[in-house]
Structure 1
Amino acid sequence: MKKLSASLLALALPLSLAAGHVSAQALTGCAAKKADVQAQLEQARAHGNKAQEAKLKIAQKQLDTNCTDEGLRREREADIKKKQEKVDARKADLEKAQAKGKSKKIAQQEKKLKDAEDELKAAQEKLNQ
């Protein structure tokens, strides 16, 4: 059930970002997620997107039923831990590439490390939302 909810919210997220609703920015945790889904639902209705509207109604019901601020915080903390492990692995890969001295491989590993660090930073910022 969590995976379905997460999938539905992931599908709806770009619509939310495009909408840029200020009201959800002042909220945190489940309240912010609910406000985002509500804003996306309004956008879907305004554009006559019935399929998106149906998905968002399901997401809304799941949030009402299952979302708790504590549970959301645990999920986000677990995501941060996973992203930190990825950063650590990318650092180790970069060190190996540097030891071999191949500039092309070093550049690839540096890019992968930067991407992993960006993902970690985004996850950390999300923790307080």
Structure 2
Amino acid sequence: MATKHLAALLLMCGLVTPVMASNPACDQKASELERQIQYAREAGNNHRVAGLEKALSAVRKNCTDAGLIREKKHDIAEQEDDIDEILEDIREKESEGRYDKVKSLERKLERERAELEHLRQELSTLEKR
């Protein structure tokens, strides 16, 4: 009887391991959440621990690398839309002669473009896994 249970357990482990290994980006995301949970515990931040544990549970239950890639592409599209809006605002302020606002918007544009580049690098990393 014990031999049958052991064989079944080994068979299940063999079936589960490839599924877990097929989402390395999700595994990395879970590891990062675990690290943040440890820091929050050390800092005595129980509310943060609870929130991070909830997020970790969701990652373990629902995360797929394909889903992470889809989300990252969505984030990139939103960032590109934000940049387009800033460019439109810059053109508008230039036509109004509001060069003080243009300078401010150009700084904001620079930050948003840097964030877009960061998102694209993250997507590239996800797609290589």
User: With structure 1 as the length reference, what TM-score do the two structures score?
Assistant: 0.68
Taking every aligned residue pair, what percent have the same amino acid on both sides?
29
- Output the CA distance in 2 between the equivalents of 1:88 and 1:51: 37
RMSD: 2.1
Please say if 1:35 is aligned against 2:40. Answer: no
Q: Structure 1: state its 5+ residue gaps.
A: 1-27
User: With structure 2 as the length reference, what TM-score do the two structures score?
Assistant: 0.68
1:37: how far off? 0.7
Aligned twin of 1:74:
70
Q: Structure 2: state its 5+ residue gaps.
A: 1-23
1:78: how far off? 0.5
1:98, 1:106 within 8 Å by CA — same for their partners in 2? yes
Q: 1:77-88, aligned counterparts within 5 Å?
A: 77-88=73-84
- Give the total of aligned pairs: 103
1:100: how far off? 2.9
Q: 1:41-52, aligned counterparts within 5 Å?
A: 41-52=37-48
Aligned twin of 2:108:
112
- Output the CA distance in 1 between the equivalents of 2:117 and 2:62: 26
1:124: how far off? 1.8
1:58: how far off? 1.4
- More moved, 70-79 vs 81-90: 81-90
Please say if 1:65 is aligned against 2:65. Answer: no
Aligned twin of 2:90:
94
- Output the CA distance in 2 between the equivalents of 1:48 and 1:86: 37
Counterpart AA for 1:30: C
